[in-house]
Amino acid sequence: MPAERAKGMVPDNNRGDRSEGKVCSLWRDAWERLKQNKAAIAGLFLVAVITLAAVFAPLITKYDPGVQLVWTQGPDAQLVPPGTDHWFGTDIYGRDIYSRVVYGARVSLQIGVASTIISVVIGVILGAMAGYYGGLVDDIISWLTNVIFAFPFLLFVLALVAYLPPGLPLMYAAIGIVNWAGVARIVRGQVLSAREKEYVEAATVVGGSDVRVIVKHILPNILAPVIVQATLGMGSIIMLESSLSFLGFGIQPPTPSWGYEIDQGRQYLLAGAWWWSAFPGFAIMALVLGFNLLGDGLRDALDPRQNVGEGR
Amino acid sequence: MTNYVFRRLLAVIPVIVGVIAVVFILTSIVPGDPARLMVGQRGDPATIQKLREDLGLNRPLWQQFIDFFKGVVTLDLGRSYRTRMPVIQAIAERLPITARLALASMALAVTSGVTLGMVAALKQNSMLDYGSMIAALIGISAPSFWVGIMLVVLFCVQLRWIPGTGTGDGSWIYLVLPALTLGMRPAALIARLTRSGMLEVLGQDYIRTARSKGLTEKAVIIGHALKNAMIPVITVVGTGMAEMLGGAIVVEKLFSLPGVGRLGIEAILNRDFAIIRGQVLFMALIFVVTNLLVDLSYPLFDPRIKYGRTWRRE
**Residue of chain A whose Cα is closest to the Cα of B150:** A278
Which of B141, B260, B292 should be substituted to probe chain A, the one whose Cβ sees the most A Cβ atoms within 10 Å? B141
**Span A157-180, mean pLDDT?**
81
pLDDT tens digits in sequence order for chain B, 314 residues long? 677 788 888 888 999 999 999 888 877 766 666 677 667 666 778 888 887 787 777 788 888 888 888 988 888 888 887 788 899 999 999 998 898 899 899 999 999 999 999 899 888 888 988 998 888 988 889 998 899 988 888 888 788 887 777 766 767 778 889 999 999 989 998 998 889 888 888 888 888 888 888 888 888 888 778 877 787 788 788 777 767 877 888 999 888 889 998 998 888 888 788 888 888 898 888 888 888 888 888 777 776 665 544 444 33
The answer to whether A246 faces chain B, any CB pair under 8 Å, is yes
Residues A19-78 have pLDDT tens digits of 445 555 777 888 888 888 888 999 999 999 999 999 999 999 988 888 888 888 878 888
pLDDT score at A81: 87
Which tops the pLDDT comparison, B61 or A183? Answer: A183
Distance between terminal CA atoms of chain B? 21
Residues of B in contact with A147 (CB under 8 A): 15, 18-19, 21-22
| Interchain contact, A262 vs B280, CB within 8 Å | no
Mean pLDDT of A209-230: 86
Residue A158: which of B243, B264, B288 has the nearest Cβ? B264
Percentage with pLDDT > 90 across chain A: 35
pLDDT at A120: 94
Return the residue of B nearest to A235 by Cα. Answer: B141
- Taking the Cβ of residue B10 and every Cβ of chain A, the question of whether any pair is shorter than 8 Å is answered with no
Position A117 pLDDT exceeds 70: yes
DSSP, residue by residue, A42-104: HHHHHHHHHHHHHHTHHHH-SS-TT--THHHHGGGGTTPPS-SSSTT-B-TT--BHHHHHHHH
Q: Looking at residues A88-110, what average pLDDT do you find?
A: 92
Percent of chain A with pLDDT over 70: 89
C-alpha distances in Å from residue B9, one per residue of A195, B281, B311: 31, 19, 15
Chain A residues with CB under 8 Å of B291 CB are: 150
Report the distance separating Cα B130 and Cα A39, nearest Å.
12
Report yes or no: B123 at the A interface, CB cutoff 8 Å. no
Q: What's B79's DSSP letter?
A: B
Chain A 157-216, CB below 8 Å of chain B: which residues?
158-160, 162-165, 189, 192
pLDDT for the residue numbered A157: 86
Q: What is the pTM of this model?
A: 0.84
Do B18 and A146 lie within an 8 Å CB cutoff? yes
Q: A172 versus A41: which is more confidently predicted?
A: A41
CA distance B258 to B229: 37
Given A147, A239, A293, which is nearest B19 (Cβ)? A147
- pLDDT over 60 at A18, yes or no: no
> Which whole number is the average pLDDT over A275-290?
93
Nearest of A98, A116, A14, A24 to residue A62 by alpha carbon: A98
Distance from CA of B284 to the nearest CA of A (A): 5
Which pLDDT score is estimated for A238?
93
First-to-last alpha carbon distance for chain A, in angstroms, is 28
Choose the closest CB to A292 out of B141, B268, B271: B141
DSSP B32: S
In three-state secondary structure terms, B93 is: helix
Interface residue A146 vs chain B (CB under 8 A): yes
Helices and strands (H and E) in chain A: how many: 13, 0
Q: Within chain A, what is the greatest distance between any pair of CA atoms?
A: 80
Rounded Cα–Cα distance for residues B17 and B92 (Å): 22
Residue A14 has pLDDT above 80, yes or no: no
Of the partner residues B21, B27, B146, the one whose CB lies closest to the CB of residue A284: B146
**pLDDT tens digit string along A84-95?**
888 898 988 989
Q: How far apart are CA B125 and CA B221, in angstroms?
A: 18
CB contact under 8 A, A262 and B145: yes
pLDDT of residue A155: 84
Q: What pLDDT score does A136 carry?
A: 93
Q: What's the rounded Cα separation, in Å, for the pair A266 and A260?
A: 10
Provide φ and ψ at B225, rounded to 5°.
Answer: -70, -55
CB contact under 8 A, A281 and B22: no
